[in-house]
């Protein structure tokens, strides 16, 4: 039974982070960067890419060293591991993509303090083997990146009427995905801090509503099923009683 | 150097560049421990201590150890270690001093380590270049007062937010909006209000 569970788990370890246990929308982890660097799609995606690297790498290393690290100094040890990868990312970004480095600014070193990474290290990587930890890190950080992209796209579109305007990420293309030239209708408040809070709040409410709707439908279906079984049982009982009566 | 420099540093860090609402630092504890105003006060006291002492220590470390040896690129690792050990100290102290507060702060106490506000302020102190502007000695005083102001700002916002959330508990909110979503919208409105303070100094 244990083996079966493990086999079924391989894929779900990876996919659970994407939607079911999305770090931002379900666990509310890593909200600081989710608010601070999502004023446009490209900064959101850029941050997502950096976190994918750091979380996957730190999960692998933490799970490699899990048997050597004493329980009492667990947290400082994990922090040093995470900080090492963050420093690599910090220097790497500065070298490869200076515009991204400038626009993310202080939030690159602050990946160290992202509760998502620490949370995965303590709750998953320290109890699982290397492969599963790597998959978990990849899935969780991809979920984080997706959420960042969603928030960034919403905010950028509401604020400017455009998406990915003047992309500078090394994605190979420049120009906008959507350019409505909607300057008269742009709401600049969504670039600012207030817009960030409100956009995340609204998305959370939307996801809550969808979840509740699904739960409600499942409950109705289950109730109907129970009702049907009850009716069948009653029917059988009646038939039995009739047969008994005739005999 | 006139004392107004310190005053300006405190006010601008507290109100204009508020850590939570303007710089998005420390949003996790802001949402996590603001359910009751009691825990909010305890948390902001702990944060204040770690933030002020932490920024003094990281400042000294940066200018007297990292810079002379030209190893400033490991500043992130060095800073986070200092903060982690400080948090351990505060945790031991609170455990001894007040069992009730220790229980109330619960998981958020070790999580001050991953409170980006503290590391963020430490990094900002270096990036703002106070040392170049005022000299290393006086720059430290300015950095300390801006850290103090930031901690005050954190305390102000988290306390105000916790009192609002206590009232929200009793309000009739649509089920999908209950809890965090409506709190985030409230935080957004607070941020809008804080926008009005821009340009005071």
| H helix or E strand, kind and range, residue B150 | helix B136-170
Q: What is the 3-state secondary structure (H, E, C) of B40-108?
A: HHHHHHHHHHHHHHHHHHHHHHHHHHHCCCCCHHHHHHHHHHHHHHHHHHHHHHHHHHCHHHHHHHHHH
Most confident of A171-180, A182-191, B184-193: B184-193
Range of the domain at A186: 2-191
A189 interface with B at CB cutoff 8 Å: yes
A62 assigned to some structural domain: yes
Please judge whether A87 and B77 are an interchain contact, meaning their C-beta atoms are less than 8 angstroms apart: yes
CB pair distance less than 8 Å for A193 and B21:
yes
Average model confidence (pLDDT) across chain B:
84
Given a contact cutoff of 8 angstroms between Cβ atoms, the answer to whether A85 and A170 are in contact is no
At residue A57 the predicted structure's pLDDT band, cuts being 50, 70 and 90, is very high
Q: Spell out which residues of chain A touch residue B191, defining contact as CB-CB under 8 Å.
A: 192-194, 196-197
| Percent of chain B scoring above 90 in pLDDT | 15
> A88 lies in a domain?
yes
| Residue A202 in domain | no
Question: Is residue A206 in some structural domain?
Answer: no
A218 inside domain: no
Residue in chain B nearest A92 by alpha carbon: B73
Give yes or no for residue B147 having a pLDDT over 70: yes
Nearest CA-CA partner of A98 in A168, A175, A191, A36: A168
Question: What is the rounded CA–CA span in Å between residue A204 and residue A198?
Answer: 10
Instruction: Report if residue A176 sits inside a domain.
Output: yes
Whether residue A2 has pLDDT greater than 60 = no
Residues of A with CB below 8 A from B80's CB?
A: 79-80, 83, 112-113
B131: contact with A, CB 8 A cutoff = no
CA distance B51 to B188: 25
Q: Which of B163, B168, B201, B194 is nearest to B183 (CA)?
A: B168
A36 CB within 8 Å of a chain B CB: yes
Please choose, from the candidates A214, A215, A192, A212, the residue with its C-alpha nearest in 3D space to the C-alpha of residue A204: A212
Which residues of A fall within a CB distance of 8 Å from B182?
Answer: 201, 205
Q: How far is CA B39 from CA A134, B91, B165, in A?
A: 36, 15, 13
Chain A CB contacts of B128 under 8 Å are none
Asked if A182 has any chain B CB less than 8 Å from its own CB, the reply is: no
State how far residue B126 is from chain A, nearest Cα, in angstroms. 11
Q: How far apart are the first and last CA of chain A?
A: 48
Of B24, B116, B180, Cβ closest to residue A204: B180
Alpha-carbon span B79 to A223, nearest angstrom = 57
CB-CB under 8 Å, A212 with B175: yes
Mean pLDDT throughout A40-61?
89
- The residue among B168, B179, B184 with the most chain A CBs within 10 A of its CB, best to mutate, is B184
Q: Which of B74, B127, B176 sits opposite A106 (nearest CB)?
A: B127
Q: Which of B23, B84, B185 sits opposite A75 (nearest CB)?
A: B84
Q: Do A209 and B176 touch (CB under 8 A)?
A: yes
On whether any CB of chain A is under 8 Å from the CB of B71, the answer is no
Q: B88, B191, B193: which to substitute to probe chain A, counting the most A Cβ within 10 Å?
A: B191
Range name among A3-12, B26-35, B41-50 with the lowest pLDDT average: A3-12
Closest CB from B25, B110, B181 relative to A201: B181
Instruction: Report the pLDDT value the prediction gives residue A187, as an integer from 0 to 100.
Output: 76
Supply the pLDDT for residue B149: 92
Number of Cβ within 10 Å of residue A10's Cβ equals 11
Q: Give the tens place of pLDDT for each residue, A207-232.
A: 888 888 888 999 999 999 999 999 99
- Asked whether the beta carbons of A171 and A165 are under 8 A apart, the reply is no
Q: CB burial class (10 A; 0-12, 13-18, 19+) of residue A4?
A: exposed
User: Which residues lie below 8 Å from residue B132, measured CB to CB, with a gap of 6+?
Assistant: B139
Domain count, chain A: 1
**Secondary structure of chain A as H, E, C letters:** CHHHHHHHHHHHHHHCCCCCCCCCCCCCCCHHHHHHCCCCHHHHHHHHHHHHHHHHHHHHHHHHCCCCCCCCCHHHHHHHHHHHHHHHHHHHHHHHCHHHHHHHHHHCHHHHHCHHHHHHHHHHHCCCCHHHHHHHHHHHHHHHHHHHHHHHHHHHHHHHCEECCCCCCCCCCCCCCEECCCHHHCCHHHCCHHHHHHHHHHHHHHHHHHHHHHHHHHHHHHHHHHHHHHHHHHHHHHHHHHHHHHC
pLDDT over threshold 80, residue B190:
yes
Interface of B with A in 11-30 (CB under 8 A): 21-28
Rounded to whole angstroms, the Cα distance separating B181 from B176 reads: 8
Whole-angstrom distance, CA of residue B59 vs CA of residue B121: 11
- Please state, in angstroms and rounded to a whole number, the distance separating the CA atoms of residues B146 and B140: 10
Answer yes or no: is A69 within a domain.
yes
DSSP B201: -
- Residue reference for tokens 């004392």: B3
Q: Could you report the per-residue pLDDT of B99-145, keeping only the tens digit for each?
A: 877 776 665 666 677 678 888 888 888 888 888 888 888 888 889 99
Please give the residue that has the higher pLDDT: either A13 or B190. B190
Contacts of A200 in chain B (CB under 8 A): 184
ipTM metric: 0.82
CB interface of B with A, residues 157-196, below 8 Å:
175-178, 180-185, 187-189, 191-192, 194-195
């Amino acid at each position: 039974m244990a083996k079966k569970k493990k086999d079924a788990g391989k894929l779900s370890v990876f996919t659970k982070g994407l939607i079911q246990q999305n770090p931002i929308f379900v666990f509310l982890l890593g909200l600081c960067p989710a608010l601070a660097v999502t004023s446009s799609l490209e900064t959101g995606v850029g941050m997502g890419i950096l976190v994918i690297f750091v979380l996957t790498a730190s999960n692998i290393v933490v799970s490699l060293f899990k048997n050597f690290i004493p329980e009492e100094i667990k947290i400082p040890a994990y922090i040093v591991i995470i900080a090492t990868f963050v420093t690599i990312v910090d220097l790497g970004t500065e070298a490869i993509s200076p515009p991204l480095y400038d626009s993310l600014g202080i939030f690159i070193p602050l990946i160290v303090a992202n509760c998502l990474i620490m949370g995965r290290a303590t709750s998953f990587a320290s109890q699982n083997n290397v492969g599963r930890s790597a998959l978990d890190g990849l899935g969780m950080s991809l979920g984080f990146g997706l959420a960042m992209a969603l928030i960034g796209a919403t905010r950028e579109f509401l604020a400017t009427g455009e998406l990915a305007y003047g992309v500078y990420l090394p994605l190979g293309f420049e120009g906008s995905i959507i350019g409505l030239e909607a300057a008269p209708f742009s709401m600049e408040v969504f670039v600012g801090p207030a817009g960030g809070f409100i956009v995340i709040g609204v998305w959370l409410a939307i996801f809550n509503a969808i979840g509740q709707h699904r739960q409600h439908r499942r409950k109705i279906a289950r109730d109907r099923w129970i009702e049907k079984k009850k009716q069948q049982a009653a029917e059988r009982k009646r038939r039995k009683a009739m047969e008994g009566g005739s005999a | 150097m006139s004392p107004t420099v310190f005053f300006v540093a405190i006010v601008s860090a507290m109100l204009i560049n508020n850590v939570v609402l303007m710089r998005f630092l420390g949003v996790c504890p802001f949402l996590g421990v603001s359910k009751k105003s009691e825990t909010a006060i305890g948390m902001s006291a702990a944060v204040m201590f770690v933030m002020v002492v932490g920024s003094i220590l990281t400042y000294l470390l940066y200018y007297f150890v990292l810079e002379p040896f030209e190893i400033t690129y490991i500043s992130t690792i060095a800073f986070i270690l200092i903060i982690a050990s400080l948090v351990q100290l505060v945790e031991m102290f609170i455990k001894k001093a007040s069992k009730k507060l220790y229980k109330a702060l619960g998981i958020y106490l070790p999580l001050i380590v991953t409170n980006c506000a503290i590391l963020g302020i430490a990094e900002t102190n270096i990036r703002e270049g106070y040392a170049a502007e005022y000299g290393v000695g006086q720059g430290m005083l300015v950095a300390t007062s801006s850290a103090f102001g930031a901690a005050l700002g954190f305390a102000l916002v988290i306390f105000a937010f916790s009192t609002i959330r206590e009232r929200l508990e009793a309000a009739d909110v649509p089920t999908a909006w209950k809890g965090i979503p409506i709190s985030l919208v409230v935080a957004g409105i607070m941020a809008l209000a804080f926008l009005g303070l821009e340009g005071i100094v």
